[in-house]
Amino acid sequence: MLETFDQLDLLYRTKTPSKHIYYEKRKSAGTENVYGILHAIHNRLPINFKHEKYWEDSLTYRIVEPYALKESHHRWYLIAKDRKDNRIKTFGLDRMSELHFEKVKFDYPKDFDADEMFKYCYGVIAEKGNPVEIILSFDPEQRMYLGSLQIHESQEVIVNNKDEYRIKLRMHATYDLIKEILSYGEDLKS
């Protein structure tokens, strides 16, 4: 996995890797910390850092037990237990600074499962409780796009004809999901 990450990182950083490969010009911020964070996750080493929330003007100091990394929309996030309140939270790597790795190991929780945590979620907002059934109707021209890159693994086609392409999702209606749904604009019927 790290070898693949290195190769992709090299291609992204090279200004002209090929005349036949084109990448998005925007790059994820905070990826310089991925290797250190992966080392801390693997070796169960707590991390302390300063964290900035976009909607607040001040930095907060955090000490966390890192559990996993998650990518969403060209950004990387750390899933970790915040020692301040013992809750599992998501921290954007692009908003972390002054990372330090502690030497005393923590016990990785036996019941933590990132796949289960995000099973019914879109993006990085993890909701608890039961997911809901979401029915979306699209212009039939969207069938190929939605078929090749599903919104969520629970996506199920319920109508597929010349007038409509309707799908059913079973997930939490989070801000990230609503933003994705709205991105379809007038191709989303109702």
Q: Is residue 119 part of a domain?
A: no
| Confidence band, pLDDT 50/70/90 cuts, at residue 7 | low
Higher-pLDDT residue of 90 and 4 is 90
pLDDT of 151 above 80:
yes
Note down the domain range covering 172.
132-187
User: Domain check: are 62 and 32 in the same one?
Assistant: yes
- Averaged pLDDT for residues 153-162: 94
Pair of tokens at residue 183? 């991105």
Pair of tokens at residue 188? 């989303």
CATH number at residue 8: 2.30.30.520
User: Domain check: are 59 and 140 in the same one?
Assistant: no
- pTM score of the predicted model: 0.80
| Confidence band, pLDDT 50/70/90 cuts, at residue 4 | low
Predicted confidence at residue 16, as pLDDT, reads 57
Q: Is residue 125 part of a domain?
A: no
Strand partners, 133: 170
| Confidence band, pLDDT 50/70/90 cuts, at residue 9 | low
User: Domain check: are 14 and 81 in the same one?
Assistant: yes
The identity of residue 97, as a single letter, is S
Q: Is residue 171 part of a domain?
A: yes
Q: Count structural domains, the chain.
A: 2
Closest CA to 90 of 184, 175, 181: 175
Domain boundary among 57, 84, 112: 112
Strand partners, 165: 138, 160
pLDDT tens sequence across 44-57? 999 999 998 877 77
User: Domain check: are 104 and 183 in the same one?
Assistant: no
User: Domain check: are 105 and 30 in the same one?
Assistant: yes
User: Domain check: are 77 and 139 in the same one?
Assistant: no
- Averaged pLDDT for residues 113-119: 91
Pair of tokens at residue 59? 């930095």
Q: Is residue 101 part of a domain?
A: yes
Q: Is residue 118 part of a domain?
A: no
pLDDT of 28 above 90:
no
**What DSSP element (H or E) covers 166?**
strand 165-171
- Averaged pLDDT for residues 158-177: 94
User: Domain check: are 17 and 90 in the same one?
Assistant: yes
Cβ burial, residue 122 (10 Å; 0-12/13-18/19+): buried
- % of the chain exceeding 90 in pLDDT: 62
User: Domain check: are 107 and 141 in the same one?
Assistant: no
Q: How many Å apart are CA 32 and CA 71, to the nearest integer?
A: 14
